Amino acid sequence: SRHARSGMDLMATHNESMTDPRTREAATMIPVYGQLPFVPERASGCDIFTRDGRQILDLYGGHAVAALGYGHPSLVEAIHTQSSKLLFQSNAVALDIRADAAEKLMRVAPDGIERVFFVNSGAEANENALRMALRTTGRSKVLAITMGFHGRTAAAGAVTWNADKWYGFPSKPFDVEFIPRDDIDSARSMIDDSVACVIFEPVQGVAGAYDLSTEFIETLRTETTKHGALLIADEVQSGMGRCGHFFAVQAHDVNPDIITNAKALGGGIPCGAVLCTQEIASKFGSGDLGSTFGGGPIAAAAIAATVQAITDEHLLANVRAREAQVREQGVVGPIRKIQGMGLLLGLVCDRPATEVRNILLDHDILAGTSSDPEVLRILAPLVLQANHVDRLSQALATIVPTTI
């Protein structure tokens, strides 16, 4: 009967809803994430395949994490091999694979960077970098840059612009002031002998892939050196080849005292790193820093494989070529201009970026938004191909620009 069929349809809908991970997560997890309207089932290269049969071109890379795309054979093999040999051991013992990861990172790091401390995330890397700077200098003031984002933990959140709305801790662990971004005169006046360090992102990712000027970054380096302060480059999002160099500061020919890295560092395996000079490393000994899982064998294998693949497959050159292509073809439809570097790009829209993102998703293309409501972010895997950029520009061209 019609009523019986209706009841069966309702039951089927109910059962399907109860097996949907969005429903299941909503029933068990704290609802702090705004989620997109699809469920990935598997992925390969730059494509995500969903449980409802869609094939989505991923230009967001899981918040800039998927450096080698999905299912990269050398990364998968490294993780599989290491998992079968030794899944975990702590830093209480030395490991060949950890030494391998450290050596490979040092080979691609800027001049003067000679030591690494492995951690688990970008926030943890920044937390330790700030602590190291305070201890090394014996000072208690930190300068950060307006609009910057460094993480959600106590110290990292303290130097994140506008973090007060979610910070949650009763007080910050040190004095913090913010230099207006790209304001050279303010940088010169604010960096003095009371400052322990200045932390900055060469390309401000969350802020919409805003690339700081070379002159401003050079001023940060000159003034911190003059006043005995340390310069920390937060390359959590801009590092590991994303900007066409292993680290974005290399594009400016500026050598910081400390670099933090995470996200793409392990190609998808959670990991982070604090890289520093030998002079800073010499201030720390047994027990001064620590991490249970930092530098674990799986993470170390992923780091080593990711660095090796970027080198062997000439992905830095590919990133620069794809950036040039996006800049040439991407100012179309709703896009007014493009900022950023490499494949950390901000497409400035003529309307709210969420509207453009949603239209692109209708074309099975995934991009990201940012804290700037007009900026759409491109954080594609470093293996992005020319035909992928063609597809993006063609989809953008279908969106009628607003009249001014």
The proportion of the chain whose per-residue pLDDT surpasses 90, expressed as a percent, equals: 94
Q: Is the pLDDT of residue 246 over 90?
A: yes
Give the integer Cα–Cα distance in Å for 253 and 265: 21
Name the helix (H) or strand (E) containing 331: none
Range 112-120 average pLDDT: 98
Separation in Å, CA 134 to CA 175, 245, 246, 276, 280: 11, 29, 27, 14, 11
At 19, the pLDDT band (50, 70, 90 cuts) reads: confident
Give the integer Cα–Cα distance in Å for 350 and 149: 24
How much is the pLDDT for 185? Answer: 98
Name the helix (H) or strand (E) containing 340: strand 335-341
Secondary structure letter of residue 71 according to DSSP? S
Helix 297-312 to helix 96-108 angle (10° resolution) is 40
Q: Is the pLDDT of residue 18 over 80?
A: no
Q: Where are the alpha helices (DSSP H) in 196-237?
A: 214-226
Contact between residue 319 and residue 246 where contact means Cβ atoms under 8 Å apart: no
Buried/exposed code over 70-97 (b: 16+ C-beta within 10 A; e: otherwise): bebeebbebbeebeeeeeeeebeeebeb
Q: Is the pLDDT of residue 136 over 70?
A: yes
At 250, the pLDDT band (50, 70, 90 cuts) reads: very high
The proportion of the chain whose per-residue pLDDT surpasses 70, expressed as a percent, equals: 95
SS3 400: coil
How much is the pLDDT for 3? Answer: 62
Ranking 30-34, 201-205, 270-274 by mean pLDDT, the lowest is 30-34
Q: Judging by beta carbons within 10 Å of its beta carbon (0-12, 13-18, 19+), is residue 8 exposed, middle or buried?
A: exposed
Q: Is the pLDDT of residue 49 over 60?
A: yes
Torsion angle (degrees, nearest 10) of CA 254, 255, 256, 260: 100
pLDDT digits (tens, 9 = 90+) for 355-375: 999 999 999 999 999 999 999
Separation in Å, CA 199 to CA 27, 157, 256: 39, 12, 10
The mean pLDDT value of the chain amounts to 95
Q: Is the pLDDT of residue 14 over 80?
A: no
Task: Supply the pTM of this predicted model.
Answer: 0.94
Give the integer Cα–Cα distance in Å for 208 and 368: 10
How much is the pLDDT for 17? Answer: 61
Q: How far is CA 87 from the centre of its chain?
A: 26
pLDDT digits (tens, 9 = 90+) for 262-316: 999 999 999 999 999 999 999 999 999 999 999 999 999 999 999 999 999 999 9
Contact between residue 203 and residue 197 where contact means Cβ atoms under 8 Å apart: no
Q: Is the pLDDT of residue 10 over 60?
A: no
Torsion angle (degrees, nearest 10) of CA 250, 253, 258, 263: -20
CA 161, 165, 166, 168 dihedral sign is positive
Buried/exposed code over 139-161 (b: 16+ C-beta within 10 A; e: otherwise): bebbbbbebbbbbebbbbbbbbb
How much is the pLDDT for 137? Answer: 98
Tokens 């598997």 belong to residue:
42
* Strand order from edge to edge, sheet including 344-349: 335-341, 344-349, 375-378
Contact between residue 353 and residue 333 where contact means Cβ atoms under 8 Å apart: no
